Amino acid sequence: MMELIAALLLLLFLSVGFAGAALVDGMLPAFLAGQSRPSWRRPIADAARLLQTQRIRTEAPDALLWFLAPVLYLALAIIGLAVIPFGPGLVTIPSEVGIVVWGSCEALTIVAVFMFGWSANAPLPLIGAYRYVAIALPAMLLSMFVLIGAALPAESLGFTEIVEAQRRVWNVVRQPAGLILFLMLGLAISLRGPFDYADPADLAGGTTADVSGPMVLAWKIARLTMLVSVSAVTATAFLGGYLGPLLPGFVWLLLKTALILVVLVGAGNFFARMPPARMMSVIWTMLLPLSFLMLLAVGVELLLWG
């Protein structure tokens, strides 16, 4: 019964979150760029335009994988969201290994993006796909260390326990740098800003360069859903998820998710993208040791005062 309610809440969360994400994504960059009065109707109008546009194939594409890539991406975003509790016991897929499920979603996202770029049989998408794999693989490693840091005080891999363990103190206090590392992962798997190695401007749109109409729309929808999903996971793992006074847990989670989402969209516009080779080496030689240290700090803190 609880699962059914949770499933309905999931749908609600998805639609509200998606609408919010579309608005923020459509309006915030325009606002930051100094354009006057971006309209809220733009995202819908744009979607209508894309729906009416012809879908183009390239010479000998891998039609099956090309079609499956956005579907898989979207499905992963939804599965990732489904292991998040909306309140005590309110989980669509109650899993005692929630963070591992989320980790699998991250890993399969890399596969989905690669499939999307590969299938077009065109040079710019291909380069984008390969580049993305180089960055997303090590970035995923970081996020897993950070999540394990969040799981230590909870003595469990499930998200519900992780939230409950934050009743005393939120994880963001325990590992502030962990939150930043996780936000980086958020940028990487929702393909934006400094971690958007799949669809960057220097590849004329990268994996989307040879995709048109409804396929572009599907890809955008999947990206935005993944943005909502990763924001919700961040809010759950670091900002106490559904915890909060007065308002119901669901609303709290929604508010925290919205906060993270705005931060992600904003951050995506304010940091430069390094060449992939440089970024790869930064991740391995600087950020990975940092995540080790974070884990050590959380461990020591737990041993001394836990």
Partner 1 sequence: MAVSVLSNWAGEAPVAVFVAIGEGMRDRLERLFNDARFVRAASPRHAAIFLIAGRMRLEDREDLRRLHDQMPHPRVTLLWNAEVGEALGDAEVFTGSTLEVDIEASEAGRSDDAVRDRLEKLWQELASGERSSEPDLLHDEPPNSWEGIGPHGQGGQGMMGGTPYGRPMAMTSDDLRDGLALDLYTARFGPFLPMFPPGLLLEMTLQGDVIQSVKVVRPPLSQAGGNDVPAALLRLARLLDVLGLPVLGQRARLAAVGGATSVPLEKLSRAIHWAGATLAIPRGLGAVEGYGDTRTRFANLVSVANGFSPAMWPGLTRSAHLSSILPGLEWSEAMLVLNSFDDETLSTLAAIVEGADEDRDGHDHDSGHMHHDHGGPHDHDRHQGHGGRGSHLGNDYHGRHGGHA
Partner 2 sequence: MGLTDLLFLALSAVAILSGWRVFATDSMVRASFLLLLSFVAVGLIIVMLAAPYIGVATVFMMAVEMMVMALFMVMFMMNPAGLNPMMMVHQHRFSIVAGVLAFAGLTAAILFTSFPKIPVDPSTPVVHDLGIELLGPSMLIFETAGVTLLATMIGSVILSSRSGRFGMADQGSRPPGLEPDGEPAGRQPEAGNGHHHHH
Partner 3 sequence: MEIVPWVFLIGILSVLCIRGVHGVRHSATAPQQLPFLGGGTPDTHAWQRYHIRYYSMTLLFIAFEMEMMFMYPWAVVFVEEGGMAMMEMGMFLAILSIGIVYAWREGVFRWQ
Nearer to partner 3, 157 or 261 (CB): 157
For residues 166-203, b (16+ Cβ closer than 10 Å) or e, as one string? beeebbbebbeebbebbbbbbbbbbbbbbbbbbbbeeb
Length of the chain: 306
Residue 52 within binding range of partner 1, rule CB under 8 A: yes
Instruction: Tell which positions 36-65 bind partner 3, by CB under 8 A.
Output: 54-61, 63-64
How many other CB atoms are found less than 10 A from the CB of residue 160? 24
Least distance (Å) between residue 204 CB and partner 1: 4
- Comparison of 38 and 244: residue with beta carbon closer to partner 1: 38
Among 2, 35, 173, 247, binds partner 1 (CB under 8 A): 35
Assigned token pair, 259: 């906060």
Q: What's the closest the beta carbon of residue 148 comes to partner 3, in angstroms?
A: 5
Residue from 12, 56, 63, 169 in contact with partner 1 (CB under 8 A):
56
Q: Please report how close the Cβ of residue 284 comes to partner 3 at its closest, in angstroms.
A: 5
CB of 29 to partner 3, least distance (A): 24
Subset of residues 129 to 158 that bind partner 1, contact rule: CB under 8 A = 130-131
C-alpha 65/C-alpha 205 separation (Å) is: 19
Residues found near partner 2 in the complex (CB under 8 A) = 60, 62, 64-65, 95-97, 100-101, 103-104, 107-108, 110-111, 114-115, 118, 121, 130, 133, 137, 140, 157
How far lies 71's CA from each of 132, 199, 215, 226, in Å? 19, 18, 10, 12
- For position 137 contacting partner 3 by CB under 8 A, the verdict is yes
Site stretch for partner 3 (CB under 8 A), options 41-49, 85-93, 235-243, 279-287: 279-287
Decide: is 306 part of the binding site for partner 3 (CB under 8 A): yes
Radius of gyration of the chain (CA): 19
Q: CB under 5 to 8 A by kind: which of partner 3, partner 1, partner 2, none does 284 bind? A: partner 3
Q: How far is it, in rounded angstroms, from Cα 25 to Cα 20?
A: 8
Rank residues 121 and 170 by Cβ distance to partner 3 and give the closer one.
121
95 binds, among partner 3, partner 2, partner 1, none (CB under 5 to 8 A by kind): partner 2
> Cβ neighbours of residue 136 under 8 Å, at least 6 residues apart?
109, 110, 113, 188, 189, 197
The packing angle between helices 214-238 and 2-32, to 10°, is: 110
- Interface ranges with partner 3 (CB under 8 A): 54-61, 63-64, 66-68, 71, 97, 99-100, 103, 118, 120-124, 126, 130, 134, 137-138, 141, 144, 148, 151-153, 155-157, 204, 209-210, 215, 276-277, 280-281, 284-285, 288-289, 292, 296, 299-300, 302-303, 306
- Interface ranges with partner 1 (CB under 8 A): 29-30, 32-38, 41-42, 44-49, 51-56, 59-60, 123, 127, 130-131, 193-194, 196, 200-205, 208-213, 216, 269-278
